[in-house]
């Protein structure tokens, strides 16, 4: 149950009441309201001399919400301007709108380029849970490499490639297409183009490692797993790219 704001500092109580009004806003304005909540939380965080120490925690107790939820709102507001939020909430011909919870996950990604790329992938159909998994995998993949780390990442890439290889060939499609099928074609084309770029980057890295390794001959001899990755990812004609415009 929400706590009593009467015991709070008057300035902080005003902020709490503003948050309470915003959280009660209509569903259609939910993300805009949540962003406005985040702006308030940021102000409280950055003005400790005005609102006191641990003020966000005090707000959370008074409002009856988790402190982590308020920090999440603040993190989104610090990461995305309102116009950016509104843009990500809009669906396009080939992209889905994101939810507030997608934005919470994206706000944890510090690199703007990586965040933009993840947002594009999410708009092509990733659920919040799937986006969290992708972010976690990206973080693990960017960790300092030891032998075990490199082997694990190569095994993961090989497993994903082999899993997709047998399912990524597109059969014949009869025209005319329904409206839903036409929309799906646009999304598949966008996804296949993205996949092609990923495969080409992977190939460049793999070829560079193969060419620069002093024990390249031995690596190639034992490298049937790597060859499978390259063959399955094979540029514009690879099996992963079937149906790509």
Residue 187 pLDDT > 90: no
Could you tell me the pLDDT band of residue 3, with boundaries at 50, 70 and 90? low
Pairwise pLDDT comparison (90 vs 143), residue with the higher score:
90
At residue 129, the pLDDT reads 92
* Arithmetic mean of pLDDT, 132-152: 68
Residue 163 burial by CB count (10 A; 0-12/13-18/19+): exposed, middle or buried? exposed
Q: Are 59 and 70 in contact (CB under 8 A)?
A: yes
- pLDDT confidence bin for 95, thresholds 50/70/90: confident
Tell which wins on pLDDT, 85 or 140.
85
CB 241 within 8 A of CB 200: no
Q: pLDDT value at position 235?
A: 39
Average pLDDT over residues 210-231: 53
Looking at the chain, the whole-number percentage of residues with pLDDT higher than 90 is: 27
- pLDDT score recorded for residue 245: 33
Q: Which residue has the higher pLDDT, 148 or 187?
A: 187
Hey, which of 102-111, 158-167, 195-204, 229-238 has the most confident mean pLDDT? 102-111
**pLDDT the model gives residue 141:** 61
Per-chain mean pLDDT for the chain: 77
Do the beta carbons of residue 194 and residue 125 sit within 8 Å?
Answer: no
Please identify which residue in the block is written with the tokens 């919470």.
104
Rounded (10°) CA dihedral 82, 83, 86, 87: -140
């Amino acid at each position: 149950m929400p706590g009593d704001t009467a015991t709070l500092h008057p300035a902080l109580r005003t902020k709490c009441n503003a948050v309470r009004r915003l959280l009660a806003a209509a569903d259609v304005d939910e993300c805009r309201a949540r962003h406005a909540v985040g702006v308030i939380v940021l102000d409280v965080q950055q003005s400790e001399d005005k609102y006191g120490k641990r003020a966000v925690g005090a707000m959370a107790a008074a409002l009856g919400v988790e402190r982590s939820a308020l920090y999440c709102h603040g993190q989104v507001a610090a990461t995305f301007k309102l116009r950016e939020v509104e843009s990500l909430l809009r669906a396009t011909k080939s992209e889905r709108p994101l939810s507030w919870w997608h934005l919470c996950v994206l706000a944890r990604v510090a690199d703007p380029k990586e965040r933009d790329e993840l947002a594009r992938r999410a708009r092509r159909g990733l659920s919040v849970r799937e986006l969290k998994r992708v972010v976690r995998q990206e973080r693990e993949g960017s960790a300092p490499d030891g032998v075990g780390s490199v082997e694990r990442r190569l095994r993961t890439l090989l497993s994903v490639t082999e899993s997709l290889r047998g399912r990524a060939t597109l059969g014949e499609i009869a025209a005319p297409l329904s409206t839903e099928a036409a929309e799906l074609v646009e999304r598949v084309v966008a996804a296949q183009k993205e996949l092609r770029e990923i495969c080409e980057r992977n190939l460049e890295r793999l070829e560079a490692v193969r060419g620069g390794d002093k024990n390249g001959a031995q690596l190639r001899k034992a490298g049937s797993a790597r060859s499978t990755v390259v063959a399955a990812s094979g540029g514009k004609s690879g099996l992963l790219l079937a149906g790509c415009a």
